[in-house]
Structure 1
Amino acid sequence: MSASQRYLEMDALRGFAVMGILAINIAAFAQPEMAFVNPLVSSQVSGLDLGSWAANFILFDGKMRGLFSILFGASTALVIERAIASGQSATKVHFSRMFWLAIFGLFHFFFLWIGDILFLYAGSGCVLFLFRNWSAERLIRWGVIAYVVGAILLITSLASMLSLLEQAAQANPPREVLDRISEIYAELGTLPADVAAETARLQGGFSGLLNYKLSEQWSTPLENLMLGPIETIPLMMIGMGLYKNGFILGQESRAAYGKIAGWMMAVSLPCFIALAGIAYARDFNTIWMMNITQAWSSLPRLLMIIGYVALLILVIQRFRDSRLLQRVAAAGRAAFSNYLGTSIVMTFIFYGWGLGYFEQFGRFELQLFVLGAWLLMLLWSRPWLMRFRYGPLEWLWRSLAKGQVQPMRLT
């Protein structure tokens, strides 16, 4: 894709997504892994921190990742379309891109941050290619069906943990029930000893963390591929369909976008507010939180993701000529660099091999780091792209996928 052939809607949507993702991921950079699910796992918790969790859960958690997945599907359709139009092999172009994306993902996971999604996207993208010739209607219909089926499976699967919790609350619960619940907490890594060990590991040196990943977590990227059929692939299918029917390109009427945004938000927003209320009522018990954040939120999440697409397209079209919107779009054009660049900056700030501020801030304070990163994205992306065709890592990915160094500087 040349620098002159851009869709502002897709670029800006991607910019909003890469910025929004950090609002959620910041807790996973700066606090123990399961604090991402349960804010009480962190040692830094205040009323403001719980309020920050609630706001992020309601507005961002899973929605920005979902928006990113939809945009990945749309971009995949665009790349395939342009490969065919230029006489290239769509198969070769696509799978070369996915191969190198997987390599980037493995590098990201082992050398930077355990929360990588690039390897998952590469694996899901390989499957997505099978549906490239489907119509927009078919892609959206089966994407929604697959998503709903995955959500139902997830809900029923995690419900078994709640059943155990209910049995344990009864008088004289069976020993095997108590043992199984203890095993679940151990598997989730929320026992105090596990949290302390994780904290010490992340506050330690780089070599110790790398050795732990290579010896204890080497299979995690492969295990994460199981998330593909449950959420990622269905959302990518929907995104591919929304590109083909022009919805994600802003080709519907403003009235249609307004109606869709209004209905999607009107249904999904109260659901998330209610789920946040349940979390408070259940004292943020980890088993309840797994059900609330990973399972029960999945169906209203799809509605809010689509609502965000429609709402943000209205915003993009209304402010398309503003300097701020242009900067957001530039951040989206350099989303790959911004995503990996964020990992570099945040792990340096919080991990022991850098500044070592891990577990030194609560969620509310961490939002200041988010605002700082947003400002950095907005400041560097547009000036860079006024001089160069691609972001630095976009250029590297493109050069590797094509097997030759690509022209970088604008002429």
Structure 2
Amino acid sequence: MATASSDRIVSLDLIRGIAVMGIFSVNIVAFAMIQAAYLSPPAYGGWHGADGLVWALNMLLVDGKFRTLFSMLFGASMLLVIERAERSGQNGWTVHWRRMAVLLAIGAAHATLIWHGDILTLYATTGFVAYFFRRMPVQRLAGLGLSLSLFNLLLFGAIAATLVHQDLAAHGPHPDAETLRNWNANAGSFFPTAKAIAQDKAIYGGSWLAIVAHEASSVAQIITNNLVLLPDTLGLMLLGMAGYKSGFLTGEWSDDRYRRVAAWGIALGLAGFGALVAADFATRFYVPLVLGGFMAAMVPFRLVMAFGYAALIVLLFRRPSALRARFAAVGRAAFTNYIGTSLVTTPIFYGWGLGLYGKLGRAEAWLLVPLVWALMLLWSKPWLDRFTYGPLEWLWRSLARGKLQPMRRKPDAPAAAAA
């Protein structure tokens, strides 16, 4: 599914665009309220009524699946850039490390100056490692990617088992002080105390400088989180490379194969995540289940569902259409759209803006999501009809190449963009 005139692979743009939109559907909670509420609705805002419904639908249909797609597309696109650089006579490693270094710097600025939930630093760090696997054949890429996902399952499964052990020890006869302290510290990550909630609201309800100072003091935690998540993210990038090399992500498979992947992947994913949603509600969001269920037990289900979504997207947009062009444009400007969600949302919630942080329920905050989706769809295509890159894509490319890149599209180029 490539356009010869523009040398772009439309399926990659489409999947990337829909993935960045899906990610915002769950990230809105991290913008609007305390971090613990992301996985555990009882931590803040509650889990009944509309708030519970929004959480359940996001967990069932969105959470984890679109981040998986976005990570896979990063690996596929990274491989595409390296291959094109090498075909043009450039050094693939030089081109790659410059891109990752610039991305790391922009991600660090995003995490410190704008929003703590940045994922770009993780992608850049993992991207440095992923480069060395680029020449592997499809089967080995897929095997290693799945092995890293299995490692992630075992890692977080062990953490969840440790939490169960701590829970039993803390609520058993005669627990010692250290046992109680360990359990309360870990449980507090999902059910924070009133004091912890007040402190969090005071930070993000404060001035921009105060928030920046707080984020700057959390650099060590960001690095730790990235190291913990690196194996899983690397595995997803390698699966993306395999998807690119095999033709799956580039739209080269037959419709029958895509239908089978879409039907089985989405059905199995819905079954797994449906069971998790039911279990979370039934146990009133038992801490080990909340963590272990999402981060460990759902690993295979999120993978098959992400592949199912990718297959469905390819099938739905086989033929050119105005809607396909809109979604593909969102994907071509995915970097700008991702950072753009922070630029649009933090002034609404943080104290230096409207100060709505912690004041809206989950369902109320989610009402912003369709508006931001509409904004992505409205601006991306008209911009790319006139310019070669999205604003931040242009900045990334210019910094990585060490010189300003031509921005305005040539007079004969809009037809290629429309394709």
Q: Which moved more, 1:23-32 or 1:181-190?
A: 181-190
80-89 vs 180-189, greater mean Cα deviation: 180-189
State the 1:9 CA deviation: 0.4
Structure 1 residue 159 displacement after superposition: 1.4
Cα deviation 1:317-360 (Å, max 9, x = unaligned): 1xx32212210110000000000011111111110011111122
CA distance in 1, matches of 2:208, 2:5: 38
**Number of the residue aligned with 1:246:** 247
> Percent identity between the aligned chains?
41
Distance 2:183 2:241 in 1: 41
Q: Deviations over 1:193-214 (max 9, x none)?
A: 1111001110111111111122
User: What whole-Å deviation, never above 9, does each CA across 1:278-329 have from its counterpart, x for those lacking one?
Assistant: 1111112334322222222222111211111112211121xx3221221011
1:118-267 alignment to 2 at 5 Å? 118-170=120-172, 173-186=175-188, 190-215=192-217, 217-267=218-268
Residue 366 of structure 1 deviates from its aligned partner by 2.0
Q: CA offset at residue 37 of structure 1?
A: 1.3
Q: Where do residues 12-411 of structure 1 align in structure 2 (5 Å cutoff)?
A: 12-43=14-45, 46-170=48-172, 173-186=175-188, 190-215=192-217, 217-317=218-318, 320-411=319-410
- TM-score of the superposition, structure 2-length normalised? 0.93
CA distance in 1, matches of 2:4, 2:165: 55
Task: Give unpaired runs (5+ residues) of structure 1.
Answer: none
TM-score (ref. length: structure 1) = 0.95
Secondary structure at the aligned position of 2:367 is classed as helix
Quote the residue 2:417 is aligned against.
none
Query: Once the 2 structures are TM-superposed, how far is the Cα of residue 187 of structure 1 from its aligned partner?
Result: 5.4
Which sits farther off after the overlay, 145-154 or 97-106? Answer: 145-154
Equivalent pairs, count: 408
1:135-184 CA deviation, whole Å, 9 max, x = no partner?
12211111111211221122122211022223344455555432321122
- Are 1:3 and 1:389, in contact at CA under 8 Å, matched by a contact in 2? no
CA contact (8 A) 2:37 2:190 kept: no
Cα pair 1:11 1:332 within 8 Å, conserved: yes
Counterpart Cα distance in 2 of 1:2 and 1:384: 21
Determine if contact 1:3/1:390 at 8 Å carries over to the other structure: no
3-state SS in 2 of match to 1:149: helix
Instruction: Indicate the residue corresponding to 1:7 in structure 2.
Output: 9
SS in 2 for 1:116: coil
Distance change >3 Å, CA 309–CA 329, structure 1 → 2: same
Q: Please list every run of 5 or more consecutive structure 2 residues that lacks an aligned counterpart in the other structure.
A: 411-419
Cα RMSD of the aligned pairs, angstroms, is: 1.8
Query: What is the identity, as a one-letter code, of the residue corresponding to 1:241?
Result: A
